[in-house]
Amino acid sequence: MTQDARRRKPLFEVRHSRIHGYGVFALRRIRRGTTVIEYLGDRVSHEQADERYEDKDPKDGHTFLFTVDAKTVIDAGVDGNEARFINHGCDPNCQTVNTGRRIFIEALRTIQPGEELAYDYQIQRDDDDPADVEVIFACRCGAQSCRGSMLEAPKKKRKSKKPASKKRVSKKAAQRRAHPRKRKAVRKRPR
């Protein structure tokens, strides 16, 4: 097969998924780092998204909303593309990348033909979540490392540190403790 023929063959197709409803499946090998598709849809404010779905059954965890930032949500239920059918996976082969407030789906590793594409939804938890939120957003990915939920992992509570036993400390060491060096900020890759 020539390179031109491979370029013309689509990367993926949407079809029924064992995980949930429809899914996106590779039609040919997708190399690690390849941008598979952009997540498209109507760009709205959080308030507009809430208004659109205020009558939605709170027990329905199915959504096409993707949070871009504190101001913007992409509603792929309106003018969305095939990206909205990529299912959640606890051991994903894709990730989302926020570039200039646009969301792209990128391959984390090489994906073989026939393999379903998935990324970790990491749905945010809220203080006002219903008691059965874990059931509503239950995961059915089937991965060995499945955490059972599409929600972000709960934040671990910090254990309080026991006070250190008092030791005799040199004057220099006491000054270092009183004025620690500033650490370089580490930038995290956007989700």
| Cα separation, 90 vs 79, whole angstroms | 28
Determine the pLDDT at residue 24: 97
Domain membership of residue 84 (yes or no) is yes
At residue 88, φ and ψ (nearest 5 deg) are: -75, 145
Determine the pLDDT at residue 190: 40
Domain membership of residue 166 (yes or no) is no
Determine the pLDDT at residue 161: 52
The total domain count for the chain is 1
- How would you write the pLDDT of the chain (191 residues) with one tens digit per residue? 566 655 678 999 999 999 888 999 999 999 999 999 999 999 999 999 989 988 877 666 677 899 999 999 999 999 999 999 999 999 999 999 999 999 999 999 999 999 999 999 988 887 877 788 888 888 888 899 898 888 887 766 555 554 444 444 344 433 433 433 333 333 334 44
Domain membership of residue 62 (yes or no) is yes
Q: Which domain holds residue 41?
A: 3-136
Domain membership of residue 148 (yes or no) is no
Q: Is the pTM value of this prediction over 0.85?
A: no
Sign of CA dihedral 104, 108, 113, 114: negative
At residue 158, φ and ψ (nearest 5 deg) are: -75, 135
Determine the pLDDT at residue 126: 79
Domain membership of residue 177 (yes or no) is no
Q: Where residue 99 sits, what CATH number does that domain have? A: 2.170.270.10
Please name which of 66, 77, 135 lies closest in space to residue 105, comparing C-alpha atoms.
Answer: 66
Establish how many alpha carbons lie within 13 A of residue 17's alpha carbon, considering only the half-sphere containing its beta carbon: 22
Determine the pLDDT at residue 112: 98
Determine the pLDDT at residue 66: 93
Domain membership of residue 156 (yes or no) is no
**CA 86 to chain centroid:** 11
Domain membership of residue 26 (yes or no) is yes
Determine the pLDDT at residue 7: 63
Q: Which structure tokens are listed for 22? A: 């429809």
In one-letter notation, the amino acid at residue 39 is Y
